[in-house]
Every structure is written in structure tokens, then in C-alpha cells.
Structure 1
């Protein structure tokens, strides 16, 4: 895809710079944040989100806004944020969560306008879940939340970041549970981001190895995948749908249509570039800034020191 055909269509927003977990691949407790951009918790206000999106909408057609964090369900004004997006005629509103939040939140989010939930489920076992999340919480609670969201009619996907030495042995169990419940699971290569950037190879488990692991039990074939999808999808002979997001070994950068925003309302054009931009108040200058953000996009994913929780993953 030629650079001039690229366009921003999906906005991923990190609505706060804090998470209730300390996952090995994002914010390990024994590793300092190499950038330390957000030493204090910061929340994106509904008013700031509305003003930034209103400034962007005359210049780009936003098909979807995806709320992330940190852990977005910790945001004290989450429902008003979703309501603002609905009022701004955003038809697809998604959120990614670790699943540990109060009862009753999912129905409230759906009523406010949420259309999709992605859940991070990196381990099927209690011990594996605790090792990866650094939290002694019952993994059954997360699985309950996933099924709750599906039963309430939301489009639900499960994300699993595969780390060598942690959860590669659970790929088949995770696929089996997701498939039996009619939920699409996506297996992610560990990305070279944040505190473990320099130790990436120690934990890396490639897309080829993920497919080999799945192939040891299931026959599968390619499944139709949208051109702007981050995942490549497959379906097993018994109907289990899974995707693989392989930033490193099978990069999809040339089709990337994502713009990212942090909790201060600053935008980023590429995960592999820490450069951020303030959205101008003057309408005529917005396109100039969007062009600068687009120019930061790379043709191959290289990662950066910036933690994923700061720029919406």
C-alpha cells in the first residue's frame, strides 16, 4: 500500500495512565518505566475527549473509537465518556479490559453505546494467571465477565499475549475454551515495547510456533480477514475461530489505519514512534498535524520504550 493511500480511521484512546495489574509484558514490577512520562495517574475528561474528536472529525472519518488504558474500567467517568462518543455519532465503540470491575458495569456500558469488548485472557490456569498479572485474583472471575458480555449481546473477543516460559503451553486450552463458547480468540506475539524492550527475545514466541502448537491438535484453514485487520484469522475444522497478531514476524504496518491518543489528548501516529502532537484549536491547522502524525508511521514494526498503557495499545 502506497503511503498516500493511508488514512486514519480507527482512534485508540488511552483514557487513563494506570492499571490495576502489573503484567509481565507491560509493567513488570521489577522493571522501571524507561520513559516515566506519566508518574502520576491522569484521567482523560469527557469534555477534553469531546473537544479533541470534534476537532478531528472534519478531517478524518472515524469508523471506530477504542477505549484502552491502563485499565479503562478504572476511569471514574467511563460511562459519560462512552455517552459522549455516541453523541458524536461514533457507531463503533469498543473497550479493552482485564475484566476485573464492579457488577453491573457491562449493562451500563452497553446502554451508553458500547458495541464491543476485548478481554485480556493470557492464562487458563490460576497459577499462570497470577504469574502473568502479578495479582492474586481468581481467573474464574475474568472468564465469567467474558461470558457475561457475550450473553448481553456485545461483540466479544479475547486477546492472549503469548510469552515463552509463561503461557505457550496453554494455547490449546485457551483456544478450546474460547471456541466452545463461540468466542474469537487472538494470539499476540509479544511486542518490543516498554520496560522489556531490551529483553524481548527472551520471551518471544513467534506466530509460526503458535500455528504449529495449534496444528498439533487441530486442522485449520484461512478465514476471510479484512485488509485493515491487525490479525490474520483461521478457523479449525470444528469451527473454532482464532486470529494471530504478529507485529514482528508478519508485520501489517502498510495497512495500518490507527491513530492513538493519550490521556492528555495528544495524538500518536505510530506505535514505533514516541513523537506526539497536540491537536490545534485552529481548524485549518489540524490537517497539518495529522499529516505530521501520518509521516511518523513506519513500514515495519520496531517498537519503542513507551509502555503500551500510555498510547492505547
Structure 2
């Protein structure tokens, strides 16, 4: 089983399908971002072999990420392969722009848990953050997915002086759509290292602001959850991912697999192990090695770009 010396069991894997994206969120990548050659991507067969192998060692959940995973042309084949791996749960993180095209495909493979990134409800601020003009399409797709039975969480990176004045608007939006809103702290990763000092807002500050208008009741969460959650008296569900101010490294249960086959023990670790060219026995040895590479205390920052490792 994948258990390290601190007793942390690796049961979740973030799987990047591509480093490409159809937005340019300023904390994630530069406007002129360069992407890897498509022939470097793991094939559907390789994804299946690696994930099936990890399932025999205790892996239970996979979250598909990017870049933007819905841009991967081989998505149908990848979903078919991964869905055969006896996982307890497969979920997807997306910016939602193309979601309407893939809802039926996702349903066919029982991928009903969606995290949708949405950093503003105002078109001009949305464009400022993402360099895109797709807000209306994303909101339409959120409503459509909810109507079709998908379980949705909205992920919002809160930034001082950028979108923090929308805090209450997001709560009311999530309440009206009957979905969970999760506020993420701006992390010191790649592009965001340049703005983090000025734009960072700790989760506790947001909680204090919310308490001026709502009564927040804490919710029980799994020990290895990245988020801690509240529910308001009016039924709004609010989560926080405070990876900067309240890191959860001591109970982390996640590894990350990049689109080109590098397995990493932590989002904030540059080093990882290339596993695509290894045989079964060599990969088993690599997994054992990676267990010893997972930090117990949170690293300060990392320079690689978010979209290159999977958000």
C-alpha cells in the first residue's frame, strides 16, 4: 500500500490531460504561454496502465485536470480507459467553457463531480483575470450541468484589489444555484509569485467578512480534505482551501501525474519521477521512492507554472 513514513496513505491522484488552456488566468500562466508538443502526452493506454497499477496499491480517486482537460482530443478514449480501473470516484476540474459539449460523454462514464473555476461574476473583471470573454457561456454551462444532475463546486481564487469585493456576490450566486462555492487562497506558484504579496487574502479574513452578514456553521470534513466547509443559516455552502495560511500537508493523500508522465508527490515540488518508459517492476520501485519525496511541511514556493503540473 502507498503509505509513507508519516502514515499518510496516498489514495487520490490528480491527473493532467494537457497543459493547454483556452484562458490565460494571470496567476496560472503568461499570455504567451508555450505548451509541450502533443506527442509528449501520455496515451490513453499509458494512463490506464499507470492508474490501474496504482489502484492495486490503494488508489481510490482520480481527478482529471489540465490546463483545460476538455481540450484534450483523446478525451473519449482516456475516459473509457480510466473508467475501467475500478476507482471509487472520477471527477473533473474545468473552466467550464466547453462543458456543454461533453456533458453526455461525462455522464456515460459516471463522472458527475465537477469543480468549475470561476474567479469573477463581472464580465470586465473576468476578462481582466482570464483574458477571456466567456463568462456568460460558463454560467450557462453551470446551470445546464446542474440541471442534468452533476454535482458542482465553484472554485474561486480570491485576490485583494481584484475580485475580493465580489465575496458576498459569490455566496448569493452559489446559494441561488444550489451549489457549493469554495474560496482558494492565492498560492505562491509560478506566475502568482509576482503578485502574491499584494493580492493574497488569508481565508480567516474572508471568514471574518462573511460573519458580518451570515452565521457560519462548521461542517465535518474528511481528515485528508483540502477544504474546510461551512453552511449558512440560509443554506449557502461555503468552503475554503487555505493552503498558504493553514496548510494541510500533514494529512495530504495526493500525488500528481503530469500530461507527459512525470509523477510528483506535491504540487509545490519541482522534482518528480518520469515513469512512462518504466516497466511494471521499475514503476513499483518509483512509487516507493516517491513516498519518501512527499514533504511533511509546506514548501515556501515553486517556480514552475501551474498549468504545467495540473491545477
| Fold shared by both chains (TM-score > 0.5) | yes
Q: SS at the partner of 2:273?
A: coil
Deviation of the 1:252 alpha carbon = 0.4
Aligned to 2:193: 197
After superposition, residues 221-232 of structure 1 pair within 5 angstroms as: 221-232=217-228
Deviation of the 1:208 alpha carbon = 1.4
Deviation of the 1:39 alpha carbon = 4.6
Q: SS at the partner of 1:5?
A: coil
Deviation of the 1:312 alpha carbon = 2.0
The CA distance in 2 between the partners of 1:7 and 1:20, in whole Å, is 35
Deviation of the 1:150 alpha carbon = 1.7
User: Which runs of no fewer than 5 residues in structure 2 stay unpaired?
Assistant: none
The CA distance in 2 between the partners of 1:28 and 1:282, in whole Å, is 36
- Alpha carbons 2:19, 2:310 under 8 Å: kept: no
The CA distance in 1 between the partners of 2:197 and 2:101, in whole Å, is 41
More deviation, 284-293/248-257: 284-293
**What do the CA deviations read for 1:61-111 (whole angstroms, capped 9, x no partner)?**
121111100000101111221111111122311111111116431122111
The CA distance in 2 between the partners of 1:204 and 1:226, in whole Å, is 26
1:312 aligns with 2:310: yes
Aligned to 1:240: 236
The CA distance in 2 between the partners of 1:91 and 1:244, in whole Å, is 24
Residue from 109, 114, 127 that aligns with 2:111:
114
Q: Which TM-score applies when normalising by structure 1? A: 0.91
The CA distance in 2 between the partners of 1:135 and 1:206, in whole Å, is 27
1:150 aligns with 2:152: no
Check 1:94–1:2 CA distance in 2 against 1; reply closer, same or farther (3 A cut). closer
More deviation, 277-286/263-272: 277-286
1:62 aligns with 2:59: yes
Aligned to 2:98: 101
The CA distance in 2 between the partners of 1:300 and 1:210, in whole Å, is 24
Deviation of the 1:178 alpha carbon = 0.5
Give the RMSD, CA atoms, in angstroms: 2.0
Q: SS at the partner of 1:271?
A: coil
Residue from 237, 254, 258 that aligns with 2:250:
254
**What do the CA deviations read for 1:190-241 (whole angstroms, capped 9, x no partner)?**
0100123244212111111111221221111211111111001011111111
- Alpha carbons 1:95, 1:116 under 8 Å: kept: yes
Check 1:212–1:10 CA distance in 2 against 1; reply closer, same or farther (3 A cut). same
- Alpha carbons 2:4, 2:291 under 8 Å: kept: no
User: Which runs of no fewer than 5 residues in structure 1 stay unpaired?
Assistant: none
Q: SS at the partner of 1:4?
A: coil
Aligned to 2:6: 4
